[in-house]
Structure 1
Amino acid sequence: MKVVAAVLLVALAGLSAQQDPDDQARIQKIRKYREECIAETQVDPVLIDRADNGDFTDDPKLKCFSKCFYQKAGFVAENGDLLLDVIKAKIPKETDREKALGIIDKCKDLKGADSCETVYLVHKCYFERSYLDKKEQN
């Protein structure tokens, strides 16, 4: 996923090819996790692309893709619990930390029917709130 990947990871989505080696390493990890999780969940990559643009399809495979991706990134435990200390520690330096923490706080307690849905709901919440924040700034 372009993912809102530094919780939840929105800042990573805009990274360009002119970044430092650490950023390039993050981009490579994101691509690797995406491909691995597509293979593991059998999700249609089109659904991921749509979610990356704010169109979140209510699809069980997409939900489990979200969980898979966030687990590989180290943000989620096997049972679907958010690892908030890890998430907070990995907020990219180019992200407004206070805003990110505020969004995390608003989304962190969402619960779905299972761990896949829980992670999906948190990701969707973070994405939507990040998007609204950006929209309000313009």
Structure 2
Amino acid sequence: MKSIVFLCLVVAAAGMDMHHGVHLSESQKEKANQYIMECVKQSGVHTDVLVNAKKGQYADDEALKKFTLCFFQKSGIVDQTGKLNVDAALSKLPESVNKHDATKLLEECKNKTGKDAADTAFEIFKCYSKGTKTHILL
């Protein structure tokens, strides 16, 4: 269950108002599941917090922020300081995602900052999640 709940974090895209969705490749799903399990264990985030985040309800939860940083670092989306690598994030998107729109949004979100690396990664995640029309589906 935990691995399914937050799979959409691969591209920092989760939320309630799903306009349309795209699917990950099998290899992307496998890698995401591996990262999810490792980051859940490392961060100690609770499943209910992940479920609520998927619904667009972002708790000010340190474990959720650590989970986000962990997942994004393993994916190569952010560096150790939480700084977004736009090119890396774009490379993780399925081919059916409009890269022009995604680039524009990622460029806006990359300037988000927080009190530390985990908070910065979480702010980037929220920015992209709220701004995207395309969400990842299983």
**TM-score interval, normalised by the smaller of the two chains:** 0.7 to 0.9
Query: How many residue pairs were aligned?
Result: 123
Match of 1:3 among 8, 19, 28: 8
Instruction: Determine if the alignment matches structure 1 residue 25 to structure 2 residue 27.
Output: yes
Match of 1:41 among 36, 40, 43: 43
Q: In 1, distance between residues paired with 2:114 and 2:121?
A: 8
1:1-21 superposed Cα distances (whole Å, 9 cap, x missing partner): 222422x356xx742xxx7xx
Q: In 1, distance between residues paired with 2:22 and 2:52?
A: 16
Higher share in helix: 1
Q: In 2, distance between residues paired with 1:29 and 1:4?
A: 12
Give runs of aligned pairs for residues 1-138 of structure 1, distance below 5 A.
1-6=6-11, 8=12, 14-15=22-23, 23-130=25-132, 133=133
Identify unmatched segments of 5+ residues in structure 1: none
**8 Å contact 1:9–1:91 — kept in the other structure?**
no
Q: In 2, distance between residues paired with 1:47 and 1:113?
A: 21
Identify unmatched segments of 5+ residues in structure 2: 1-5, 15-20
Q: In 1, distance between residues paired with 2:7 and 2:52?
A: 11
In the superposition, the TM-score normalised over structure 2's length comes to: 0.80
Q: In 2, distance between residues paired with 1:73 and 1:100?
A: 17
Q: In 1, distance between residues paired with 2:9 and 2:39?
A: 16
Higher Rg: 1
Q: Secondary structure at the match of 2:60?
A: coil
CA-based RMSD of the aligned residues comes to: 1.9
1:53-76 superposed Cα distances (whole Å, 9 cap, x missing partner): 211111011011000000111111
In the superposition, the TM-score normalised over structure 1's length comes to: 0.80
Higher share in strand: 2
Q: In 1, distance between residues paired with 2:117 and 2:52?
A: 21
Q: In 2, distance between residues paired with 1:9 and 1:27?
A: 14
Q: Secondary structure at the match of 1:3?
A: helix
